[in-house]
A and B are shown apart, each in its own frame.
Chain A
Amino acid sequence: MKKYNVLSQFYNKFIKYTPAQNNDFYLTTENKKDIEKIPISPANDLEPKTISKNFTQNLNYLKTKYNSLINSDVVIREFSLIANNTEYMAALIFIDGMVETQVVNNAVLKPLMLRNKSNTFSVTDNEVISEFNNNDVIIRKIKKFNLEKYIYNHLIPQNSVDLLDKFEDVMSSINIGNSILLVDTLDVAFDIDAKGFKQRSISSPKNEIVVRGSQEAFVESLRTNTSMLRRIVNNENLVIENTSVGKISQTKIAVCYLKDIANNDLVAEVKYRVNNLDIDYLTSSGQLEQLIQDNGSSLYPQLIATERPDKVAIHLLEGRVAIIVNDTPYVLVAPGVLSDFMSSPEDANYKYQFSNMLKFIRLIAAFFALYLPGIYVAVTSYHHELLPTELLFTIEAARETVPFPVIFEILLMEISFELIREAGVRVPSPIGPTIGIVGGLILGEAAVSANLVSPILIIIVAITAICSFSIPDFSLNFTIRIIRFIYILLGYMAGFLGIAVGMFIQIVLLCNLKSFGCPYLTPFIVANNKRSLTSYFLPPIWKRENRSNTVSPKKKYSQGKISMLWKNN
């Protein structure tokens, strides 16, 4: 009745029913706006926040919250708990499929329900702890029987048991796969970690493949991911702070850093951003990346997303902060600067000469992936003199039979290529390569034969595609693919003038970009970042004394001035 009154007040306050001429009721627009403004249902004010000693009330509340009558996977097992040789009403609540049934049966229900030495030994109501006589007056120190401690100490043989007193925490625990024990007369709930849901086992990375390096990739389970990091970092200074994001989903997030290396301001900034998100749900690290990056409108990725634990570990050891999102096999690392996206995780594993050669090739690849089609359009439209006469004749002869302007040709081929790429990703994996062959070879050959495009253009598009595959980071690859179209248009509009304008604007935008306060072009424009792992071209391993100054770590040096002591001893 009380509830009804409050609800009536709520409706009267926020929803005004206006009688229409036909005596029906309808909501006015004004009232709709009022409804939108309501932050949380006022009914929440009536809901209990904490667990009371009334077992039935607690249980009914949870049953209502979990819609136990219609929810098939929520299990509420009511039973009589034996403690101190007395029976108490109790209930174990968990979600079927998220707990280990054997553990729940053998290590939770059995000790609680069946009579055994633990639950039948009697503790007197008032246990005398100590006693002494003072002038014929006996003074006794008495400890009252405590059911909560009794159950905690004697009846739940589990390594991870917490006591919760808020319903919010109780529901959060149930949602992540824990079991909750409610006992009559107790105003706390036992949070028993008996998780046991099916999950993918650790496998090799699918998108960041390396030749020399670890073959382990992150999985969806947050705890498995943190354990992999801990195993690699192997240091007690690794801090893994848990938090949750999303009002509905309450997605677990772990912020990881090395407390003796990571800059305090950076850690604080990451935690500040993660903890100040007003969203209902978060289902992946990709969403989180977009929510916490500095410049949302920029095309460039500003956080590193990787599936490789060794890569994250290296970044942690360099003083960066990792963010793990539960149910996502990609971990974010903050901050991310341009050189990070041009580096492969195995660069550190190769000899520095090999790595630097690869890095140089990647630079060339990035240049061609970005500018080659635009330059081709510019040269063929405005700057013919740049080509040697013989080559110019060859190109012109090849284009003679093509009826379209060069811009149409190149856009046709680039868009076709993007379609092939997209189709190759979406189709089932056994026929993925077939799409590539059909699209790349047959379609290209047919297009040339039909005089839709010139053969030289096929070469240009193919080189561009190969170069774009050399970019190690998937997000940066996307960025380059989009910007490439802009350069094609600029090249067609004004030749090298257009490309030069585009280049300068791009440089300015890059110079303006920051990731968690770090200039995005570090170390390209910060000169004093040599002799570290994060300088673009790697020095020899024995000369990498410095940590990256990108994030101003607490420890400046990562190795001694002379790292190979054996050589000097």
Chain B
Amino acid sequence: MNTEKIGYVEAIALITIVMINKIILNTPKDIIANTGSASWLNVIYISVISIIVVCFVTYLLRRFPGNDILDISEYLGGKTLKAIIGLAYIILLLMLTTSIIKNLSETLRIIYFRTSPILYITLFFIVSSIICNRFPLKVIAKANLIIAPIIFFSVIIILASSIKNFMPQRIFPILGYGVNETFFSGLSNIFSFSGILYLLFLPPLLHNPDKLKRLSVVAVIISAIYLFLSVTCLLLSLSFTMHSDESFSLYVLTRNLEYGRFIQRVDAVFILVWIIAIISYINIPVSLCIYIFKKLTNISDPNSINYSINLLILAVSIIPIEYAIFTNIVSKAVQYSFFVLFFLISIPILVIANLKLNFKNKPRKEQYRNLDNAQKA
């Protein structure tokens, strides 16, 4: 793999695109389903918590400049812990990618390719992933940088165009299903910011690791603004009790857009942009999987891993089970795995590693202090 590093703006685009794609997919709809008319409040709440978490994580990572969670795990528990953490993350990322591809393929089949087999649609994503992951993450980050503004622009157009459909009274009742659903069980919506997971692997890839905190906070803030706007627009445009089969949250909004008499249905154009965005998004976890695998095994040519990982994703994506069952199982599994792996395993590892570092440096600090005292005396 190429050792070229990722720049500041590229890194922001990389993290943001992960989160923005969740907005394009079904995240806003899920948030509205969980918290009702209080979804806008919930978004603000989880955004603040995400920023705090990001600050905390980057603070913990600051003590290990240029090291990612795998290096820190190795420092704490040797190669065994490193391998366990690495494998756990590979499984999580693979599940995440599979669920996205399955979700997207099924949605596209419903919208455009009713007669085509799911394998045919999925193959397009897999082929693009195989081709693009032959290149280093730096290249994918650069591609993201080009695509990110287009996605932002498309989302802004949709949001601006749907203002005419707004009904302000839809935000009532303010607390939606209640305080408990909004602030306690609604905390699970923090999964919308699952892009923060990638922060744990960024330090060695960054051109300037010192800016990790700043870029992370900026990326989360950008994503939070977009999530807030998306959720609010969706909430104000459509009743939260309205049932929708569409998997793309924003697609529901685009179907109602009209620009004069000539342009009456532009949803296909937005679908085009979003497919590019989601392909870009798919490449990031796959690339990260290859990166982790390479780091665990020290293989020289990661191309074989690229093929294996993509074929594995293809195999899981085309398992002939009901889409709804698949979504329920895998999406929930991904969500819970993210919570466990990020909050219950990775953050404690970082905390303990910091404590270990403190403990190790303590005698040295005392030595220096004694030396200072002796010099002063």
Contact = CB atoms under 8 A, between A and B. Distances in A.
B276 A494 contact: no
B261 interface: yes
Nearest to A519: B142
B268 A505 contact: no
B180 interface: no
Contacts of A495: 112
Contact of B139 (A379, A508, A524): A508
Contacts of A388: 261-264
A496 B128 contact: no
A39 B261 CA distance: 75
B124 A501 contact: yes
A494 B266 contact: no
A385 to B, nearest CB: 4
Contacts of B132: 504-505, 508
Contacts of B276: 500, 503-504
Given A388-B263, A494-B124, A504 B112 contact: no
Contact of B142 (A379, A386, A525): A525
Most buried by B among A496, A504, A511, A525: A504
B263 A500 contact: no
Contacts of B272: 496, 499-500
Contacts of B273: 500
Nearest to A511: B142
Contacts of B268: 379, 383, 385-386, 496
A383 B9 CA distance: 35
B147 A507 contact: yes
Contacts of A386: 265-266, 268-269
A382 interface: yes
B368 interface: no
A521 B142 CA distance: 10
Interface residues of A, number: 27
Contacts of B264: 388-389
A20 interface: no
A497 B124 contact: yes
Q: How large, as a class, is the contact surface on chain B?
A: 35 or more
A527 B9 contact: yes
B108 A497 contact: yes
Contacts of B143: 504, 507-508, 511
Contacts of B280: 504
A497 B279 CA distance: 10
Contact of A383 (B112, B124, B131, B283): B112
Contacts of B113: 382, 494, 497
A67 B20 CA distance: 75
A383 B121 CA distance: 16
A498 interface: yes
Contacts of B336: none
Contact of A525 (B146, B265, B267): B146
A512 interface: yes
A497 B147 contact: no
A504 B128 contact: yes
A501 B279 contact: yes
A524 B146 contact: yes
Interface string A346-384: 000000000000000000000000000000000100110
A507 B142 CA distance: 9
Given A388-B264, A494-B113, A497-B121, A521 B146 contact: yes
A385 B254 CA distance: 13
Contacts of B279: 500-501, 504
> Dominant SS at the A interface?
helix
B339 to A, nearest CB: 31
Contacts of A511: 135, 139-140, 142-143, 146
B127 interface: yes
Contact of A497 (B266, B275, B283): B275
B1 interface: no
B195 to A, nearest CB: 19
A527 B108 CA distance: 35
A512 B263 CA distance: 37
A223 B69 CA distance: 61
Contacts of A527: 9
Interface string A151-166: 0000000000000000
B55 interface: no
A512 B145 contact: no
B276 to A, nearest CB: 5
B131 A508 contact: yes
Contacts of A498: 124
A393 to B, nearest CB: 14
B183 to A, nearest CB: 39
A75 B74 CA distance: 79
B125 interface: yes
B341 interface: no
A279 B197 CA distance: 52
A500 B269 CA distance: 10
B296 interface: no
B53 interface: no
A242 B264 CA distance: 64
A505 B127 CA distance: 10
Nearest to B105: A497
Contacts of B139: 508, 511-512
B112 A382 contact: yes
B146 A501 contact: no
Contacts of A512: 135, 139
Given A497-B124, A512-B139, A507 B146 contact: yes
A540 B269 CA distance: 35
Most buried by B among A382, A385, A511: A511
Interface string A410-422: 0000000000000
B9 A501 contact: no
A314 B108 CA distance: 50
B316 interface: no
Nearest to B274: A500
A500 B146 CA distance: 14
Interface string B140-172: 101101110000000000000000000000000
Interface in A510-553: 511-512, 519, 521, 524-525, 527
A507 B131 CA distance: 12
B331 to A, nearest CB: 22
B271 interface: yes
Contacts of A385: 265, 267-268
B125 to A, nearest CB: 7
B314 to A, nearest CB: 14
Nearest to B263: A388
Contact of A500 (B9, B140, B265, B275): B275
Nearest to B270: A496
Contacts of A524: 146
Most buried by A among B127, B131, B272: B272
A384 B214 CA distance: 45
A521 B138 CA distance: 14
Nearest to A389: B264
A392 to B, nearest CB: 10
A229 B265 CA distance: 56
Given A504-B147, A504-B276, A525-B146, 4 more contacts: A497-B108, A519-B142, A524-B146, A525-B142
14 contacts: A383-B268, A385-B267, A494-B120, A494-B124, A496-B112, A498-B124, A500-B276, A501-B125, A504-B143, A505-B131, A507-B143, A508-B140, A511-B139, A511-B140
The 9 closest A-B pairs by CB, nearest first: A500-B275, A511-B142, A383-B268, A496-B272, A385-B265, A508-B132, A512-B139, A501-B128, A504-B279
Interface of A: 379, 382-383, 385-386, 388-389, 494-501, 503-505, 507-508, 511-512, 519, 521, 524-525, 527
